[in-house]
Structure 1
């Protein structure tokens, strides 16, 4: 896998984690637009714990925390903060496993309204400015 292809895959994983975090926040809060800043993705992921059965909570918490870590790592890759670090198909495979583990706790992910996604994109773009 080329570095370019690996970065595209990292972007896909990052986008999926953001989408899950936004959905968890929407389910828990009723779509408070003030929380659509990507810096809170890892905190929103922990909302997964409230949406699973008692016997699944510890595993869901671990999956959410690991997904937050993956989110941070993809950010480092996509923003060029990984000079000299080994990055490629093996890392993408590990991140995909973590993403699938996170998804395994979500029985049904509702569609995110397009207007909400546009607001999230605007917030994200303002963050980079």
Structure 2
């Protein structure tokens, strides 16, 4: 397998990892009754922030923003919109670190507190 193909496989692996984190974070926070199609991945990555303590929130938000950027870039690569056919190792290495940071953050976050709405204000 040539280097360009290896890089695309690495990018695909990152994209799948981002989709898994987004889906599991959404499920953990929202607890949907049925499993729906996993779309809006970039938006669902924000659910990783649920339960992050206030003093850590800005740093956590930066991790999520970087992960959202990586998700967009992986899309560009996978759909052939990015001019680079053979991504440099440094770029993919950086993306892998961002995804690892996101995974670590997702493991530290806790479920949002569920509140019951009584309808009274």
> How many residues end up aligned between the 2 structures?
107
User: 1:65-114 CA distances to partner (integer Å, 9 max, x unpaired)?
Assistant: 110110010011011111246613111101011111112212279xxxxx
User: 1:1-48 CA distances to partner (integer Å, 9 max, x unpaired)?
Assistant: 7010000000000000000000110011113544622xx111111112
Answer whether contact 2:63 2:98 (CA < 8 A) is retained: yes
Structural RMSD (CA):
2.1
- Tell me, in whole angstroms, the C-alpha distance in 2 between the residues paired with 1:48 and 1:19: 11
What is the DSSP-based 3-state SS (H/G/I as helix, E as strand, rest coil) of the residue aligned with 2:70? helix
- Tell me, in whole angstroms, the C-alpha distance in 1 between the residues paired with 2:74 and 2:29: 26
When structure 1 is superposed on structure 2, of 17-26 and 58-67 the one drifting more is 58-67
Flag the 1:70–1:84 CA change in 2: closer, same or farther, 3 A: closer
TM-score by length of 1: 0.73
Greater gyration radius: 2
* Unaligned ranges ≥5, structure 2: 110-121
TM-score by length of 2: 0.78
